[in-house]
Amino acid sequence: MKIALTIDALIERDHSIEIFEHLCSLFEDSQIYTFVHLKGKILGPIEQRKITSTYLSRKVKNKEDFKRLSFLAPFAGLNIPCNFDLVINLSRGLSHGIPRCEGTRQVTYLYDMASLDKTTFLGKIFYSFLKRWSLEKLNNCDELILSSSYLEKSLGISNASVIYPFIKVEDFSLITSSAFKHDFFAISTEGLSLKKAKEISTFLKEKQIRFCFVGHDDHLKNDFDASILMGEKCNGELAPLLASAKGLIYLGEGLFPKIAISSLLVGRPVFCLENEINKEFLSKAIFFHDFSELLKEYKFDSQSLRASVMKFHQAGFKGQILKIIEKANHVKNPSPPSCC
């Protein structure tokens, strides 16, 4: 069986790339098709595959460029050759729409809709068209898998499976050490604006509570001392940092709160906003509405925190994905998912 793997773009490493890399490892002889490939930017085994991309690779330099030009994806001229039996797709809103031949089956894992732009001038003009096109193309998938129940509800999709993304649980052991004072907050920069960063830092300074920022921090470098900007960490560096913190403050609204799950895995509490995404993924988190709530003393059990997120283990993801792929490969006329 000849398999093609498809993804919106290969621009820089993030969690969706980790998922795609895992799919690559399951199908070692597969070829990759994508709208944009920036050679050398995705370190690891992905770069060793045969990768076919479009002219957009010459126009895009980063994720922001790709999102700005996402309205061109339906017209980029990318097609899956007819000699492929199966397409396995990880989509962030676009790549499930890459044309394929009749008789070639497709399994799509819809991670999120992040590739669709509604912030720039052109993005606002083309957003309605692009979202409508994206949703229509989802109907053509033989098997559709969604990353969360929240995504299922927000897009109005029915007859689809939900499989949670995985995290490398083995990288985040339950760490206990008498050397940890737990006297500072780690603050995730995911979804954190400069304004909100200033607000929370001012509050914590007034209460004489130490803190640091963790994650992509280019937007904070002009206003905060480098000593409290930890930057983006690999799992090996992130685990002990989170384990030594009083807790993680997470204000992000992404569809997979990876850093928050990481904190729970090492047995430290997560303080986050109460929304549908966080309630689905972070059942043991502490939901707060005011910074003053961070000052309370909370009782928690580290083992219980870890247990609450063990469902995001890589082994579970692999088993569920392979089961659905096997189903798609053997069912001659599967009912496509329906949405909207």
* 55: phi then psi, degrees, rounded to nearest 5: -60, -15
* 320: phi then psi, degrees, rounded to nearest 5: -70, -40
Q: Are residues 45 and 159 in the same domain?
A: yes
Residue type, 236: G
- Give residue-wise pLDDT tens across range 50-65: 999 999 999 999 999 9
- Give residue-wise pLDDT tens across range 112-135: 999 998 888 888 999 999 999 999
Contact 268, 248 (CB under 8 A): yes
Q: Are residues 154 and 22 in the same domain?
A: yes
- Give residue-wise pLDDT tens across range 82-115: 999 999 999 999 999 999 999 999 999 999 999 9
Total H helices, total E strands in the chain: 10, 14
Instruction: Tell me how many domains the chain contains.
Output: 2
Q: Are residues 146 and 87 in the same domain?
A: yes
Mean pLDDT across 219-223: 96
Q: Are residues 195 and 213 in the same domain?
A: yes
Residue type, 31: Q
- Give residue-wise pLDDT tens across range 226-275: 999 999 999 999 999 999 999 999 998 888 999 999 999 999 999 999 99
Q: Are residues 103 and 225 in the same domain?
A: no
Contacts with 5 (C-beta within 8 Å, 6 or more apart), sequence order: 20, 23, 24, 27, 30, 31, 32, 33, 49, 87, 88, 89, 90
Q: What is the rounded CA–CA span in Å between residue 213 and residue 190?
A: 10
Question: pTM for this one?
Answer: 0.89
Q: Are residues 158 and 296 in the same domain?
A: no
Q: Are residues 151 and 289 in the same domain?
A: no
Q: CB pairs under 8 A, 24+ apart, for 122-131?
A: 122/68, 122/71, 123/67, 123/68, 123/70, 123/71, 125/71, 126/71, 129/71, 130/70, 130/71, 130/73, 130/74, 130/93
Half-sphere exposure of residue 19, counting CA atoms within 13 Å on the CB side? 28
Q: How many CB atoms lie within 10 A of CB 153?
A: 12
Per-residue b/e over 259-275, b at no fewer than 16 CB within 10 Å?
A: bbbbbbbbbbbbbbeee
CATH number at residue 234: 3.40.50.2000
Burial bucket for residue 314 (CB in 10 Å: 0-12, 13-18, 19+): middle
Q: Are residues 290 and 179 in the same domain?
A: yes
Q: Are residues 266 and 297 in the same domain?
A: yes
Q: 3-class SS at 277?
A: helix
Contact 162, 148 (CB under 8 A): yes
Range of the domain at 269: 169-311
Q: What is the rounded CA–CA span in Å between residue 325 and residue 108?
A: 10
Residue type, 99: P
CATH number at residue 21: 3.40.50
Q: Are residues 159 and 287 in the same domain?
A: no
Q: Are residues 96 and 190 in the same domain?
A: no
Q: Are residues 59 and 127 in the same domain?
A: yes
Is pLDDT of 334 > 70? no
